[in-house]
Amino acid sequence: MKLRSLISTGVVALSLIATPALAHRAWIKPTTTVVSGDDEWISFDAAVANGIFMPDHFAMPIESIQVLSPSGKDVEKQHGQKLRYRSVFDVNLTEEGTYRVGSSSRSIMATWKDDNGKRKRWPGRGKEASTESFEKAVPKDADDLHVVDAARRIDVFVTLKEPSDTVLKPTGSGLELDGKTHPNDLYTGEAINLGFLMDGDVASNTKVTIVKDGEKYRDTDDAMKLTANENGEISVTFDEPGMYWLEAEYEDDKATAPAQERRGMYVLVMEVLPL
């Protein structure tokens, strides 16, 4: 993978890619995930926040979000508004099957020490990444130089009538969901199996965190912590229905130069229904 293909232009890409321990929680949350009519509407909130489904940090740019129809065609977002802490928009579902609503970004990040031992970082907060600025700003012989290839994807799936699989097919870039249980076929008391791929290959040992909605009203977030097996898969059963936020994190040393580390983050909003 060449340097140019690793660098995403756009400030949103940089704001959503961060060290896992410092990252805010990003999400695209629908009012519902399954509808049964012939011509239906679903509304969405999109935000980067401190808590789950409680917008309190900044709105996710609407232009960074793509909607794909069950046949893989671009669908227009309607009635979009960027508010102070969240963006809102509607999607008109007219084609039977499963739609993918999501945002993805990929970039490289570099840290090093200058001649005075001061820690430097590229790109700066809120700055755009480009091949030209990387070549100019990052000294290749710097002390303690560390370059990371970081990819992030945020997804939610919604279905009109019967679920379909076309938009579930992996793209082969970044950390992605890999088939198994359909994300719009989740019920309490049933085992849900999810697989993960990194750049098209099995993402073994992916770290997964799952948090149920209503976190604000609990003493703790009651997060479920799981680790994917050697096949990049997890299995989980939910006792309570509701909306759930899943974040998966993966890293290895299989990056393409000039990066030394490859990192993937994947967010999925799921609705678990009562059986």
pLDDT digits (tens, 9 = 90+) for 9-54: 444 444 444 444 345 899 999 999 999 999 999 999 999 999 899 9
Domains and CATH numbers, the chain: 3-107+148-272 (2.60.40.10)
Q: Is the pLDDT score of 1 beyond 80? A: no
Q: Report the mean per-residue pLDDT for the chain.
A: 90
Classify burial at 10, counting beta carbons within 10 Å of its beta carbon; exposed 0-12, middle 13-18, buried 19 or more: middle
Instruction: Please report the sign of the dihedral spanned by the C-alpha atoms of residue 4, residue 172, residue 210, residue 63.
Output: positive
User: CA-CA distance, 71 to 157, in Å (whole number)?
Assistant: 14
Query: Can you tell me whether residue 4 is helix, strand or coil?
Result: helix
Q: Are 45 and 51 in contact (CB under 8 A)?
A: no
Global pTM value: 0.90
Q: Please tell me the predicted confidence (pLDDT) of residue 149.
A: 93
Percent of the residues in the chain that have a pLDDT greater than 70, as a whole number? 91
Q: Is the pLDDT score of 99 beyond 70? A: yes
Of the two residues 88 and 138, the one the predictor is more confident about is 88
Q: How far is CA 167 from CA 135, 157, 217, in A?
A: 36, 9, 35
Q: Please tell me the predicted confidence (pLDDT) of residue 4.
A: 55
